[in-house]
Structure 1
Amino acid sequence: MTFDLTFFAVMVPAVILMGLSKGGFAGLSLLSLPLMALIVSPVQAAAIMLPILIIQDVVTVWSYRRDFDRRNLATLIPGMLLGVLAGYLLAAKVSDAVVGLAVGVISIGFALRRLLAGKTAALPVTRANYAAGTLWGAICGFTSMIAHAGGPPFQIYVMPQRLPPAVFVGTGALFFALMNWIKVLPYFVLGQFSHQNLMASAALAPVAILSTIAGVWLVRRVPAERFYTIIYWLLIAVGVKLVFDGLRPLFG
């Protein structure tokens, strides 16, 4: 890997997508790693991205430090810890394509149901509870470790609660910041924090910070109804991509 024009032509857009996602437009982040994998291996792409995610988490958590839902965090975190542990232990035995396919199908079905409900009878607003939170938290942790796809399960659990956009984003910011710090130890044990990978992360850090700030700025200026409509459509797009990636090995 060399820090040439090709490197920055691929990596900068990937980091911008991740920053906008961290700033609030969840779903765009799932496009980053495949883009980075055009010039580096998926494992190396994930290793380069992890320090960038932690830097972006600092910006997002600080920006939304007063906007988060404690009950959602309390219901999600125990399950997330179990999911990350299960993903770490089963990573070598579970196909990320199969996990991505399942998450993709669920995401498309959920988003379409919510969008179509807006044209008929509105679906009831839900509340955070420990049974559902533990389940979806575990799925978040597991899919994040296996297929870097923790965002859609989080959205499926939290979006029906119709939280204010800033609270929705702030809750996700704290939740995924904690998850990213938990991932540091496995990556360190696997030897992924090489000098070359860390140098790449450092070179991309300024873009990461600026794009995250841009995402925060946009979220605070988009009306709540439009915000959720955008997120639903992004969830469908991400779901389609996950389904495509999951089916591709079967026909390859």
Structure 2
Amino acid sequence: MELFTASVFAFTIPAVIFAGISKGGFGSGVAFASASILALVLEPGVALGLMLPLLMLIDVSSLPAYWRKWDWSAARVLLIGGIPGTILGALFYAWANPDAIRLIIGLVALLFVAWQAAQKVGLIRLGAARFGEKTGFVAGLVLGFTSFVSHAGGPAAAVYLLGQGLSKTTYQATTVLIFWAVNLFKSGFYAGMGIFTRETLMLDLALAPFAILGTWLGIKAHHKVNERVFFAITYVALALTGMKLIWDALT
């Protein structure tokens, strides 16, 4: 598949900037929208392989701004579960066909939007009580699996971390640390399974400045931008993208 085309750049540049803004300033919960959007115009494996090095670059670019502001005890629990979850994700990816991956990405997108809506209307309440380590381990398993097959580990991390009563900045710093580690771990599987290609890595080099730009914008926006507006737009985009991916997978 030809990646260096105007239509590919028209989708990838905004998606990469958005991923940087999300991961740099608003946690990693909605950054997977970028991979979901790219899966509309690229094969799922290509979209995943293209995004991972850029997500890793965003992680590294974000770390200095949040250095040692994280909650290590919460991060440790999720990372312990994330290791076997990543391995399960790799096994599933090796078995699944592209339409199965599209279906998973679409379902995760819609479930995430539904979960957020349930929180808004009070059906789900987080933060009132701290979750235990068993819940954190299960969240880590889901984080590792969904992160591998769709770069969508953020929602699972958010469920556990929001139940820890963390401050906004501590929450953000903890997600940056977690996904730096998880993405580094799964990159070895991506390389060994051929998900990275010469073409995706060359395009990553061209898109790297936009990833850094998005990260810088996200860090600045962390203290200034209205989160409700940012997330409202994201949820609409995720719902539409998820429905389209499910339709494509089933038809």
TM over 0.5: yes
Separation (CA, whole Å) in 1 of partners of 2:183 and 2:193: 15
* Aligned mates of 1:201, 1:85 — CA distance in 2: 25
Structure 1 counterpart SS, 2:163: helix
Which residue, out of 168, 172, 185, partners 1:169?
172
Following superposition, the deviation at residue 217 of structure 1 comes to 0.8
Using structure 1 for the length normalisation, give the TM-score. Answer: 0.83
Aligned length: 246
1:8, distance to aligned residue in structure 2 (A) = 2.4
TM normalised by structure 2 equals: 0.83
Map 1:45-84 to 2 at 5 A.
Answer: 45-84=47-86
Does 1:135 pair with 2:138?
A: yes
Deviation at 1:168, TM superposition (A): 1.1
Deviation at 1:233, TM superposition (A): 4.3
**Residues of 1 paired with 2:197 and 2:246: CA distance?**
33
Match of 1:89 in 2: 91
> 2:37 matched to which residue of 1?
35
Return the offset for 1:123: 6.1
Query: Aligned Cα RMSD in Å?
Result: 3.0
Which of 103, 109, 118 is the matching residue for 1:113? 118
Secondary structure of the equivalent of 1:153? Answer: helix
1:68 partner SS? coil
Instruction: Rate the CA distance shift 1:93–1:160 in 2: closer, same or farther, 3 A.
Output: same
Identity of aligned residues (%): 29
SS in 2 for 1:91: helix
Pair 59,246 (structure 1): closer, same or farther in 2 beyond 3 Å = same
Change (3 A) 1:233 1:7: closer
Q: Is the CA contact (8 Å cut-off) linking 2:30 and 2:154 kept in structure 1?
A: no
2:187 & 2:95 partners in 1: Cα distance? 21
Q: Which residue of 1 aligns with 2:8?
A: 7
Distance in 1, matches of 2:216 and 2:41, equals 27
